[in-house]
């Protein structure tokens, strides 16, 4: 660190992105790193979600830090428990644990006198020169706006607030919601419930995938020869699909997108035998308009005798179960609310104030956004990982965070090498970028006519609207002319 300025860092959130930031900061020689975590365990989304059937639909060897390959994955698509255990192990092995202050929910972040001050719900204050906001996207559960929910006599719970002790075997279970979560829940419960009703306001297109368990011999081979892991992670077919999918998102009329639609349509036509059920399950919008659902067995599971697909309109929840508008009553013991998240909240409800007291809530009154999903004008030295507009296709958020880190590291380098005290995107560059992003986002498949958590309140997708290649290049080579650098008289805070 000789010749470099010593910097103090706060990392908000000890999930996948926060752990990454802490590891990278320490590797770069920054010693003063504090992580503030609202809960009593790390793991982010993998701590909060524990519903039956939860897996990651990105291949496990690709949903792994590039610097911490894991020979022990049990399956091609790993389950939540082992993913959580993986992050805990990496955090332990890389000495991240001592940096984490658990049970410290940030309630305010304010930029004062050239530095950031974080206040936590415990009333403590932490100060830093720079903040990494890694507080996650899908962590504010959205309860459905269905009348009578509180009157239910059985157990109703959101998928992200699952209670392990609730009995499921032999019960009458309703699952509301047909996103990735609802589909995984239904697959896991189809053989356990006495009756399972899947309430679908809008059926989803399902991309078929094959999930295989790795054998002991394969794991032994991975341990002996990490090149075998790389062969899966960097498999040309997988990476080709990643590239093609982002090309398809950007150009809804491309061959790539038509190929995705064909695969989903064939999956429905060829797997669902009953024509009535098939039509119930057929979406009325284009495949990949909503975040695509990947499942090896959803269509097979919903054809089990105990499963009923309900596509009618829900009238209200009553003590006995769910009453439909046509008068049908589905009597239930358990109601699983797989109804998604408030995806535009990010760090909020915490308040964040930048230079001259400018409030993030005001900046984001219309939509949550950031330049290249990383920096905002007037919020110097504050960097998002997996923040607003970050999702790139449906792919590994670890890959997204690692690439974003290249960008963040470059900006931090400007401060630590003494070029400036404060750095963030300039207001002009932000305005030009946002106009370009919105125009591009409106042309993507996500804006082709459906509802989804990708859309902001004006219907503009909150995602990366260009190709994967463009993302990789933008992260690797920050346009420094777009940045505003200032020197400030430092005052201890
Ligand atoms: P979601 O995709 O937002 O789906 C919410 C579902 O609830 C939709 O089907 C929605 O119907 C339905 N819904 C909401 N309010 C309703 C109401 N009042 N009445 C009836 N239905 C209602 O949420 P999610 O499934 O939790 O998934 C969110 C994201 O989490 C995914 O897209 C994915 O990015 C991530 N995820 C990933 C994995 C993985 O394997 N990697 C697993 C789970 C989740 P409408 O479509 O009609 O609005």
Q: Whose CA is nearest to atom 39 of ligand 1?
A: 56
Q: Which of 179, 199, 289 to mutate to test the pocket of ligand 1 (most atoms within 8 A of CB)?
A: 179
Ligand 1 is surrounded, with C-beta below 6 A, by 55-57, 138, 144-146, 159, 176-182, 184, 201-202, 291, 314, 338-340, 451, 453
Q: pTM for the full model?
A: 0.96
Task: Please name the residue that has the structure tokens 């097979």.
Answer: 300
Q: State the DSSP H helix or E strand holding residue 279, giving kind and residue range, or none if neither.
A: helix 275-280
Model confidence at 312: pLDDT above 80: yes
Model confidence at 212: pLDDT above 60: yes
CA of 336 to the centre of ligand 1 (A): 12
Query: Whole-angstrom Cα distance, residue 489 to residue 165?
Result: 56
DSSP 3-state of 226: helix
**pLDDT at residue number 394:** 77
The ligand 1 atom nearest the CA atom of 450: 46
**pLDDT at residue number 243:** 85
Mean pLDDT of 308-325: 98
Looking at residue 248, the DSSP 8-state letter turns out to be H
Q: Which of 177, 207, 323 to mutate to test the pocket of ligand 1 (most atoms within 8 A of CB)?
A: 177
Q: Whose CA is nearest to atom 18 of ligand 1?
A: 144
Q: Which of 50, 183, 285, 339 to mutate to test the pocket of ligand 1 (most atoms within 8 A of CB)?
A: 339
The ligand 1 atom nearest the CA atom of 146: 18
Model confidence at 165: pLDDT above 80: yes
Per-residue pLDDT of 43-64, as tens digits, reads: 999 999 999 999 999 999 999 9
Instruction: Residue 10: count other Cβ atoms within 10 Å of its Cβ.
Output: 24
Q: Which of 340, 391, 393 to mutate to test the pocket of ligand 1 (most atoms within 8 A of CB)?
A: 340
Q: In b/e form, how buried is each residue of 145-160, taking b as 16+ CB within 10 angstroms?
A: ebeebeebebbbebbb
423 and 483 in contact (C-beta within 8 Å)? yes
DSSP 3-state of 405: helix
Mean pLDDT of 186-196: 98
Torsion of CA 317, 320, 326, 328, to 10 degrees: 150
Mean pLDDT of 219-239: 94
Strand partners, 352: 109
**pLDDT at residue number 395:** 79
Q: What is the mean pLDDT of the chain?
A: 96
CA of 311 to the centre of ligand 1 (A): 15
**pLDDT at residue number 4:** 83
Query: Whole-angstrom Cα distance, residue 149 to residue 134?
Result: 33
Model confidence at 177: pLDDT above 60: yes
Q: In b/e form, how buried is each residue of 417-438, taking b as 16+ CB within 10 angstroms?
A: eeebbbbbbbeebbeebeeebb
């Amino acid at each position: 660190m000789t010749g470099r300025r010593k910097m103090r860092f706060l990392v908000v959130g000890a999930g996948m992105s926060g752990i990454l930031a802490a590891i990278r900061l320490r590797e770069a020689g920054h010693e003063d790193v504090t992580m503030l975590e609202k809960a009593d365990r790390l793991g982010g989304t993998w701590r909060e979600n524990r519903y039956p059937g939860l897996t990651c639909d990105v291949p496990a060897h690709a949903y792994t830090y590039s610097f911490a390959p894991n020979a022990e994955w049990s399956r091609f698509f790993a389950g939540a428990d082992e993913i959580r255990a993986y992050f805990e192990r990496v955090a332990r092995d890389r000495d991240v644990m001592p940096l984490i202050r658990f049970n410290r929910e940030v309630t305010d972040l304010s930029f004062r006198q050239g530095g950031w001050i974080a206040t936590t719900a415990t009333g403590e204050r932490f100060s830093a020169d720079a903040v990494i906001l890694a507080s996650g996207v899908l962590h504010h559960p959205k309860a459905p706006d269905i009348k009578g929910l509180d009157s239910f006599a059985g157990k109703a719970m959101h998928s992200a607030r699952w209670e392990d002790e609730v009995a499921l075997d032999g019960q009458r279970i309703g699952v509301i919601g047909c996103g990735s979560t609802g589909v995984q829940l239904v697959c896991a419960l189809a053989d356990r419930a006495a009756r399972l009703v899947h309430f679908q306001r809008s059926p989803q297109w399902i991309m078929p995938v094959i999930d295989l368990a790795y054998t002991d011999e394969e794991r032994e081979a991975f341990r002996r020869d990490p090149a075998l892991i790389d062969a899966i992670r960097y498999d040309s077919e997988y990476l080709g699909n990643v590239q093609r999918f982002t090309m398809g998102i950007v150009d809804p009329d491309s061959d790539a997108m038509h190929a995705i639609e064909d695969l989903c349509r064939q999956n429905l036509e060829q797997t669902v035998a009953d024509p009535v059920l098939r039509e119930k399950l057929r979406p009325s919008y284009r495949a990949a308009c909503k975040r695509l659902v990947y499942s090896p067995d959803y269509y097979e599971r919903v054809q089990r005798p105990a499963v009923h697909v309900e596509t009618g309109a829900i009238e209200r929840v009553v003590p006995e179960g769910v009453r439909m508008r046509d008068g049908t009553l589905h009597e239930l013991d358990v109601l699983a609310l797989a109804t998604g998240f408030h995806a535009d909240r990010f760090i909020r409800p915490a308040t964040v104030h930048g230079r001259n007291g400018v409030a993030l809530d005001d900046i984001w009154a219309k939509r949550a956004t950031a330049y290249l999903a990383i920096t905002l004008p007037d919020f110097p030295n504050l960097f998002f990982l997996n923040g607003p507009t970050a999702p790139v296709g449906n792919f590994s958020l670890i890959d997204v965070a690692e690439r974003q880190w290249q960008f963040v590291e470059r900006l931090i380098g400007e401060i630590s090498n003494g070029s400036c005290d404060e750095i963030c995107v300039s207001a002009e560059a932000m305005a030009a970028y946002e106009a370009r992003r919105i125009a591009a986002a409106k042309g993507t498949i996500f804006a082709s006519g459906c509802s989804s958590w990708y859309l902001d309140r004006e219907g503009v997708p909150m995602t990366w609207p260009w190709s994967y290649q463009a993302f990789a290049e933008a992260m690797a080579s920050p346009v420094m002319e777009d940045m505003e650098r200032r020197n400030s008289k430092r005052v201890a805070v």
